[in-house]
Structure 1
């Protein structure tokens, strides 16, 4: 279910669910929070727990929280009193017989949940919806033993439930669509943001968010001298995240965060994208779990504060001249340095190019361009960032980073020196988040709008990853991922076919000018589509043969680059069948027919919307290298 970014998942008018009686089983933190949300929204809410007195204690705790909220002026006293009046502790499953919805929030154990759902199914009406607050178990597995599996869905709240806006409405393969509609209506009426997703490992948030934590720990593993606080500071001060990933895992608990990551990894067949971090595993093994144990990535004892990230000392008066590359124009403008149209040497002073990473290391950029370069990490908003990561290429004069620090000091931006690695910190994190989100959409986990909503409201990210990826440019994202893959070719940094296809189209300016759009892409196959316009035509008013070749070649590029390999075209042998004319919508589809070592043979068909053939093409390609980072258009 895909929705615009400013709207939650669509459903009905909510009238059917307005008077529902809600049951909640499990009076722990999550269960009590869910019960509070339901009661606050006007529902009679019954709370059950297996432990004697636990439900009554939970109701008392809710009452205490609401009383303190009233005292602070955050909650109306009458509303608080009415909420508590609607909450009722009960003593047995039989007491939930009259509920329209029962939400279980018990221990994450499939056997325990199976037993509870079977007991509930035996007493509630056939129309009662049974929902699970599971964060890791399959809804399909939960529903499988029941006579009516269509009534079962996931209703995954985030902690603390009364405050966190997102709720993942998880549909199993057997879940009745009407149940999903009712739950979306109900969640929205509760003042939450519902997103609909399939019952896949990690659902949306726990799946797509894994790179945020995983890449931070991998940076520490790859660069033992890198201060953890530099990673967190840059992701806050340059990336716009409310907390850095390492400090956030200390807050969550290293054991909890690692367990969620490992469950997603195992449930996806040990997909390397979600592979556990040895650095985090070592923290868990040592019992340094974060705030709850007094130590984790950072110390958390009495009086402990988050360490301050080391920054580069400013060295004014170096006489260094800067040539801002267009990719660094935002920060250069903030610092009062004009970005030139080209990269001309302004004089005889030592001159260094200032540019933002496209995935390549600073050394690789200098080697490719022949110019000393200070490479900046990505900043999400150049106008408001407080920090930026940077690394100097080998040919830079001594003190180049100090000169940069002096340049940016007046603009209120501090510089953190980074090791020269692909993607640096923020760019690496952003690209892997975008790639994970694109992969989730392609896999049918959720629609694009719901994925962005989930990450904004459930994970607190400053921008949905798909929206961020579109702003950064799909070619840029694919380039950073390719650079990471070239350094670590484990499959962790693979680019899904949809993202690869968008990247190819973005870089192919001729195809973009023709208005071609992506149909689909994957290793060994690819298709594009476009409507014939005046620019497609020759002097006889039919589609120019060269244009048909361009369309076919674009489909071929999608197909042969699906694995992220550097491939060059060998030849296109065209058989013309019929001319294309204005108003035709042409689709070019390439399919690999044979591969001999590095040589590929592809069949490409160009067809109209009615399926009739315009041309048949035989394409031949040759792979000349492994994955390589995509360059920005300015380097072309």
Structure 2
């Protein structure tokens, strides 16, 4: 059951987030009280809302009558005491535990005993915020994403003391407001800020290792991984200072677990003022005359692609790729094999999907020079592929295989032989983090995947992608990454080794 629209919603904090939350609640039909501790800020936010709706009317997205009705429901107030009638109070003040505790402590005395105190915190413990209160059961997380009127996700976060009925009501209310709510427990980063860490962390690590430049990483993540933006583009949009601080906060909150260790390179960027778009320069130069760097591509001029190969093993999720290569002129002979990752044997060299190990080790195991290819989300649409070769693979053979992918309509990014390449490594680590969040009870599979799709626009939920790729293959990639680096950062979640139970649970 959602909060009835005749019940008043209060928003504390009239910055961009508070203003957006007030707009969402008012558009849903609630009377909204808007407060900010800074004199005049609430009234200024109401004026800004007026300009927002004027533009919406001008563009034909709202009628004037609808805009007037929404704006009439938003009332700026001067004191916390004015919020006494509210049934739901959403706090969007500075991200400091002591400040949030103080605000809620005062509101608990001012508002009715049944009032719900919802915090929009993105990183603080709901349990800690509720600790000094007389009614901690009424405290819940209601984490919107910025801009709140546009982004659909709301993480409904329960602390150890949160009444389940309170969380249910807030969940249903968010849904009634047109949002896509998900349940989460109060753990560092909740769902999105926790699961998303490898998206940035692995791209940074790849650049730190000299395997590829930012432009190549971004291009592969977009054109093969299906993401709207690559990690370096997104870090520049968010701000390297902000993104680094979130990573550092999650790292600290998890007691310095190596899996969340932030990048020294990104810290250097932030310390140097190379923040991204807002400073004019970050991983890319945003000066008006600056040219965007293009990722290097394989040189294959006057080199004919191979015309035949033997496919060893079941193609599985690579079926569409092999069909695409066949349409480009490659004759493929099928032979049965136990390969978890199928091989294309061209005679002088073999080609296989990356399993998280070095091409060097694959070449040694197979007794032939090896070329490893990166992962793609959808092989029918992939516009780019990253390839790496073992040290004994002749440049001409690499160029011939690259020419085959080009003939199939894909750009080829040659990268250094690093475990997992770019997309496969990033995706596997996202899957691992999502699996760990599931294992630790942060949310359920649907909630985790919904959060990543609706909160940060992932093309597919990481658990759904793991289902598509095959859990045994994901575990193999993670095991090989862990073996290659000998770092706890890459340890697979224990849940991967209980996959039949997980699959059965998901199917139900």
Question: In 2, are the aligned partners of 1:167 and 1:194 still within 8 Å (CA)?
Answer: yes
Within-5 A mapping of 1:254-273: 254-273=240-259
What are the ranges of 5 or more consecutive residues in structure 1 without an aligned counterpart? 1-11, 503-516, 521-527, 530-636
1:389 aligned residue: 386
1:19-38 equivalences in 2 (<5 Å): 19-38=6-25
- RMSD after superposition: 2.1
Q: What is the match of residue 126 of structure 1?
A: 113
- C-alpha contact (below 8 Å) 1:437/1:451 kept by paired residues: yes
Contact 2:305 / 2:403 at 8 angstroms: preserved in 1? no
Secondary structure of 2:141 counterpart: strand
Give the equivalent residue in structure 2 for 1:333: 323
Aligned to 1:400: 397
Aligned residues: 491
2:308, 2:346 within 8 Å by CA — same for their partners in 1? no
Partner of 1:432: 429
State whether structure 2 residue 498 is matched by structure 1 residue 518.
no
Mean CA deviation greater in 361-370 or 144-153 = 361-370
User: 1:137: Cα distance to partner?
Assistant: 0.6
Q: Assess if the C-alpha contact under 8 Å between 2:93 and 2:100 holds in 1.
A: yes
Match of 1:599 in 2: none
- Find the aligned partners of 1:384 and 1:77 in 2 and give their Cα distance: 43
CA contact (8 A) 1:48 1:91 kept: yes
Distance 1:216 1:519, change over 3 A: closer
Write out aligned runs for 1:359-508 (5 A): 359-502=356-499
Pick the structure with more strand per residue: 1
Q: Give per-residue Cα distances to partners, 1:500-542, cap 9 Å, x unaligned.
A: 232xxxxxxxxxxxxxx4389xxxxxxx99xxxxxxxxxxxxx
**How many Å separate the matches in 2 of 1:68 and 1:212?**
35
Q: Is the 8 A contact 2:306 2:401 kept in 1?
A: no
Query: Is the 1:455–1:461 Cα contact (8 Å) retained in structure 2?
Result: yes
Separation (CA, whole Å) in 2 of partners of 1:31 and 1:306: 35
TM alignment of 1:154-193, pairs within 5 A? 154-193=141-180
Matched, 1:247 2:233: yes
Give the TM-score of the pair, scaled to structure 1: 0.74
Look up the match of 1:113: 100
Give me the whole-angstrom Cα distance separating, in 2, the residues matched to 1:85 and 1:331: 56
Matching residue within 122, 135, 148 for 1:135: 122
CA contact 1:155–1:169 (8 Å) conserved in 2 = yes
Q: Distance in 2 between matches of 1:429 and 1:475?
A: 17
Bigger mean CA offset, 274-283 vs 328-337:
328-337
Name the stretch that deviates more: 152-161 or 59-68.
59-68
Change (3 A) 1:295 1:342: same
Q: Greater RCO between the two (CA within 8 Å, min separation 6)?
A: 2
Aligned match of 1:233 in 197, 208, 219? 219
3-state SS of paired residue (1:399): helix
Question: CA 1:81 to 1:322, structure 2 compared with 1: closer, same or farther past 3 Å?
Answer: farther
Separation of aligned partners in 2, 1:42 and 1:312: 57
1:41 aligned residue: 28
Q: How far does residue 338 in structure 1 lie from its aligned partner after superposition?
A: 4.2
Write the deviation string for residues 338-394 of structure 1: whole angstroms up to 9, x where unpaired.
4421289xxx98543232111122221111112333211001111001110001233
> Tell me, what secondary structure is at the counterpart of 1:458?
helix
- Name the counterpart of 2:87: 100
Post-superposition shift, 1:401?
Answer: 3.3
Partner residue, 2:342: none
The aligned counterpart of 1:283 is 269
1:440-480 residue CA offsets vs partner (Å, 9 max, x unmatched): 11111111110010001011111111111111111111111
Cα distance between partner residues in 2 of 1:340 and 1:83: 65
Q: Which of 9, 18, 30 matches 2:5?
A: 18
Shift of 1:200: 0.5
Alignment of 1:600-619 (within 5 A): none
TM superposition shift of 1:329: 4.1
- Deviation digits for residues 599-623 of structure 1 (CA, Å, limit 9, x no counterpart): xxxxxxxxxxxxxxxxxxxxxxxxx
- SS of 1:115's equivalent in the other structure is helix
The equivalent residue for 1:579 is none
Structure 1 residue 182 displacement after superposition: 0.7
Contact kept, 8 Å, 1:315 with 1:403, in 2: the verdict is no
Cα contact 2:308–2:332 (8 A) shared by 1: no
Q: Which moved more, 1:362-371 or 1:249-258?
A: 362-371
CA separation of 1:349 and 1:68: change in aligned 2, threshold 3 A: closer
Q: Which position in structure 2 is the counterpart of 1:550? A: none
Deviation at 1:494, TM superposition (A): 0.8
* Alignment partners' CA distance in 2, 1:251 and 1:138: 27
Describe the shift of the 1:349–1:247 C-alpha distance in structure 2 as closer, same or farther (beyond 3 A). Answer: closer
Whole-angstrom distance in 2 between the partners of 1:276 and 1:294: 23
1:536 paired residue number: none
- Which residue number in structure 2 is paired with residue 590 of structure 1? none
